[in-house]
Amino acid sequence: MRKISARAITEAIYQAIRKISFAPDPDVTRLLKEAQNNESSPLARDALSIILENHRLSPTLQIPLCQDTGSTILFAEIGIEACLAEPLSQSLNRAIIRAQQEIPLRASIVQDPLFPRVNTGDNSPGIVHITQVEGDGLRLTIGQKGGGAENTSFLKMFTPATGANDIVEYITAKVLAAHSRPCPPLILGIGIGGNFETAPLLAKRALFEKLGRPHPDPQYRALEEQITEGINAAGCGVQGLGGNHTVLATHILSEPCHIASLPVAVNVQCHAHRHITVEVSRETN
């Protein structure tokens, strides 16, 4: 059994939050530069140059990439031989509160969705998902998710009669209907299969895949390309300013599902794509 202290975990999460607050996924920068070189709309080109300038300025000035510093999501892979000193949610919330005060981040969480919507004031609580794995490691994927893009995400329970083309059509229509609200250019995380609660989880996980990686299955790869290209051809563009870059990348993940079901979930991610994966190493204990 390997014991992992609460301090080591909190510190790892805090440092991760700190890092992503000022730096998007480096592959986003690469894809945005490619987009700028192929952009047809002068307005969108101008906006892209401002976004790329933001990638340079944010870490230098230590001003967050986006004022919506988001809700904090943690996906943890915990080895069955690792023993954590406290529940992960406690370490996460401590790291969030410290980050909110010290970086500082915006307090963007309300205590209750309805009755009443009072801000918790410290950006806690975060959201935790745990998977058990072999070994004694602790691997943490931390994301900051803004509300604008999350609000345009969606789920539909299709049935097996649905063809791949129907799914493409549905996703294309929904993303285009959201227009510029989620701050395009976007990354689409798509979860197909599982059930009503796991398809959206799969969709969120799909966002953390290496950006622009080709899907290992050629059929899903074709589907990803069809979705990206179809949406880009419709001309919403960067922040709705036209041109050919509404979507930077589409990632699909799939899993087994019931013989009667075909769940499809889409998690919409803006270009302020803040996530990182860290290993809580032995040395930090």
Residues 208-237 that bind another protein (CB under 8 A): none
Question: Sign of the CA dihedral 283, 133, 143, 108?
Answer: negative
User: Nearest approach, Cβ of 170 to ligand SF4 (angstroms)?
Assistant: 22
Angle at 273 between CA 72 and CA 243, to 5 degrees: 145
Draw the binding track, 204-243, toward ligand SF4 (x: CB under 6 A; -: no contact): ----------------------------------------
Residues 143-162 that bind another protein (CB under 8 A): 146-148, 151
The DSSP code sequence of 72-138 is EEEEEEEETTEEESS-HHHHHHHHHHHHHHHTT-----BSSSSTT--B-SS----EEEEEEESSS-E
- Which residue from 181, 184, 205, 182 is spatially nearest to 247, judged by alpha carbons? 184
User: With binding defined as CB under 8 A, does residue 267 bind another protein?
Assistant: no
Structure tokens at 196: 């009503």
User: With binding defined as CB under 8 A, does residue 183 bind another protein?
Assistant: yes
Q: Which is nearer to another protein, 58 or 226 (CB)?
A: 58
Considering only residues 67, 132, 219, 285, which one is a binding residue for another protein as defined by CB under 8 A? 67
Gap between the Cα atoms of 132 and 139, Å rounded: 10
Considering only residues 9, 13, 66, 95, which one is a binding residue for another protein as defined by CB under 8 A? 66
Residues 140-159 that bind ligand SF4 (CB under 6 A): 146, 148-149
User: With binding defined as CB under 8 A, does residue 279 bind another protein?
Assistant: no
Q: Calculate Rg over the CA atoms of the chain.
A: 19
- Which residue from 36, 3, 8 is spatially nearest to 238, judged by alpha carbons? 36
User: With binding defined as CB under 6 A, does residue 182 bind ligand SF4?
Assistant: yes
Q: Which stretch binds another protein (CB under 8 A): 7-15, 73-81, 116-124, 189-197?
A: 116-124
On the 0-12 / 13-18 / 19+ scale of CB atoms within 10 A, 129 is middle
Q: Applying CB under 8 A, which residues contact another protein?
A: 42-43, 46-47, 50-51, 53-54, 57-58, 60-69, 104-108, 117, 119, 121, 146-148, 151, 179-183, 239-242, 270-272
Q: Applying CB under 6 A, which residues contact ligand SF4?
A: 66, 68, 146, 148-149, 182-183, 270, 272
